[in-house]
Amino acid sequence: MSTTQVIVRGSAAARLARLGAAGALVAGGLVLGGCGGGDTFVTDDATVTVEDGQNGDDGSITIDSSEGSMTITGESGGELPEGWPEQVAVPAGGTVNSSASFGGDEGDAFQASLTYPDAAAADLIAELKSSMADAGFSMEAEFTAGGQVAANFVGDGMNVTATASDGDDGAVLIIVIAPDS
C-alpha cells in the first residue's frame, strides 16, 4: 500500500481542507449509518447532498458552505470533473476511478485518480511533463522512489501535482490541481 500526501499552502488550502474534512466525516457517517442516497442534510455550517448512482455512476456527495463548495464523485470508468482545465491534459488510455472538484473564493481545485493497465508510472509522468511544458507550465519539482514518481508544475495560475505509482495491474495516476496563490 502506498500513501500520497499533497500539501497546499494558503487560505484557499485551509478552506479546502475544512471542506474535505467535513466531506470525509459526512461520507463516513453516511456509510456507517447505512443511509441511502438522494438525500440532503443541512447543518449549521453546510448543506450536504448525496446523490444515488444511476446508469453505472457511483453517485456523488456535494457540500456547499459559505467557505465554498466541493463535489466528490466515485465513478468507475467515469469522467474528469466538470470544469477540469484543458491545459492539464491527462495521458490517453486511462480510466477515471474517482474525481472531485472544489470551488472557493480564490479559485477552483480539482482531483482525479486514473488507472492505466498498460503503462508504467515513469512513462505517465514523462508524458505529463511534455504536455505541461507544451501548455506553458514550468516543472518545480520531481521525485522518484521505487515504483512511484511525482512531479509538481506551476503555470497559468495553477499548481499541479501529479503522482504515479506502479502496481500489479498497471499504474495509478493521481492529479491534484489547486489555485497558485
pLDDT in tens, 81-129: 888 999 999 999 999 988 888 777 778 889 999 999 999 999 999 999 9
Q: How far apart are CA 104 and CA 31, in angstroms?
A: 27
**pLDDT the model gives residue 62:** 75
Please give the model's pTM, rounded to 2 decimal places: 0.67
**pLDDT the model gives residue 27:** 40
24 or 133, which is more confident = 133
CA atoms within 13 A on the CB side of 48: 21
Residue 41's CB: how many other CB atoms inside 10 A?
14
139 or 66, which is more confident = 139
pLDDT mean over 119-145: 96
Under the banding of pLDDT at 50, 70 and 90, the label for residue 22 is very low
Under the banding of pLDDT at 50, 70 and 90, the label for residue 12 is very low
Under the banding of pLDDT at 50, 70 and 90, the label for residue 74 is low
pLDDT mean over 135-145: 95
pLDDT mean over 66-88: 76
68 or 82, which is more confident = 82
**pLDDT the model gives residue 61:** 73
Strand partners, 145: 148
Q: How far apart are CA 56 and CA 64, in angstroms?
A: 25
* In the predicted structure, residue 70 carries a pLDDT above the cut 60: yes
141, 88 contact by CB (below 8 A): no
Residue corresponding to grid cell 470508468:
77
Q: What is the pLDDT of residues 25-62, one digit of tens each?
A: 334 333 333 344 567 888 887 787 777 665 555 567 77
66 or 23, which is more confident = 66
Residue 145 burial (CB < 10 Å; 0-12/13-18/19+)? exposed
